[in-house]
């Protein structure tokens, strides 16, 4: 199914659902704007509970006011500063504690895995690949860490460096986390999703052990020298997610040297999704 023309959303970051190409099944994109976390959480649970075999899959793009979220197996001890003034919400995704705030894209993936014949690990891999492709389109080198879902800063390839990747800034933040991932599967359908740091106040990450890792540095695209708009990055991410979920070939968002997935050495014990 071909995609309808996709226009950038208005300044309110809110627009009616737009259909994206995604293999044999469409994905509807919803721009939900700046929305309290609890409202998004309640809405995606209600959407998942009300699904039928014919319900189209959806991707929601959201920006949240400041909030910490703690996964099902999360240890409250990873919140290091209890009086930060930032609320903590316990949720039903996998993983430990993370932070959401203005300047971060949160993409919620409401996907029927059975219909698409996707295993959970394969969905995680495809989400990660979509983030890697998105960041590569801004000439940022990123990759995975074994056993730690999410995306981390890697050293640019020689080709990326030639094309303008900021090797100095990458080198100052090796292994820093730029995107976090956590899912819940209910009745064969996913909700929750992935967050990507664009241009945000990173100070609240110092009040937690991000995703359960003490001392893990967190960065955003601005830290790595990319002055990109929230809406532009969100649109790129949504398109790459739709292509990956549908099993469609990647397009110009791939790195120019053809490398889409690097592995970043992990120095700490494995953790569940986050």
Catalytic residue numbers?
A: 211
DSSP E strand stretches across 41-90: 57-63, 67-70, 88-90
Is 180 annotated in some ligand binding site?
yes
Q: Is 30 annotated as a binding residue?
A: no
The answer to the question of whether 192 is labelled as a binding residue is no
CA distance 220 to 264: 17
Cβ count within 10 A of residue 65: 13
First-residue to last-residue Cα distance in the chain: 32
97 is in an annotated binding site: yes
Known binding residue 93? Answer is yes
Has 194 been labeled as part of a binding site? yes
User: In the sheet that 104-110 helps form, which strands lie side by side, from edge to edge?
Assistant: 14-20, 27-34, 57-63, 104-110, 189-197, 177-186, 148-153, 142-145, 262-263
Q: Is 98 annotated as a binding residue?
A: yes
Is 190 annotated to bind a ligand? Reply is no
What DSSP designation does 249 have?
A: P
193 marked among binding-site residues: yes
Q: At what angle do helices 230-246 and 120-136 cross, to 10 degrees?
A: 140
Binding-site residue set? 93-100, 180-182, 193-195
Binding-site residue set for substrate? 93-100, 180-182, 193-195
């Amino acid at each position: 199914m071909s995609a309808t023309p996709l226009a950038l959303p208005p300044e309110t970051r809110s627009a009616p659902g737009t259909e994206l190409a995604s293999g044999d099944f469409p994905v509807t994109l919803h721009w939900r704007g700046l929305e309290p976390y609890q409202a998004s959480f309640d809405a995606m649970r209600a959407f998942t509970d009300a699904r039928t075999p014919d319900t189209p899959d959806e991707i929601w793009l959201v920006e949240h006011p400041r909030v910490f979220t703690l996964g099902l197996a999360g240890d409250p001890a990873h919140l290091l500063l209890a009086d930060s003034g930032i609320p903590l919400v316990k949720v039903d995704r996998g993983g430990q504690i993370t932070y959401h705030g203005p300047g971060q894209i949160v993409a919620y993936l409401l996907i029927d895995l059975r219909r698409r014949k996707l295993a959970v690990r394969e969905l995680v891999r495809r989400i990660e690949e979509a983030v890697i492709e998105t960041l590569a389109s801004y000439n940022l080198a990123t990759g995975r860490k074994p056993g730690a879902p999410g995306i981390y800063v890697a050293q640019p390839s020689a080709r990326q460096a030639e094309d303008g990747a900021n090797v100095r800034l990458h080198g100052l933040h090796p292994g820093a986390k730029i995107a976090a991932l956590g899912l819940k599967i209910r009745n064969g359908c996913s909700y929750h999703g992935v967050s990507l740091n664009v241009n945000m106040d990173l100070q609240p990450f110092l009040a937690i052990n991000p995703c359960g890792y003490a001392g893990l540095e967190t960065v955003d695209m601005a830290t790595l020298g990319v002055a990109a708009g929230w809406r532009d990055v969100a649109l790129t991410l949504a398109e790459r997610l739709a292509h990956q979920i549908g099993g469609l070939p990647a397009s110009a968002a791939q790195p120019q040297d053809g490398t889409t997935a690097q592995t970043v050495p992990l120095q700490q014990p494995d953790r569940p999704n986050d």
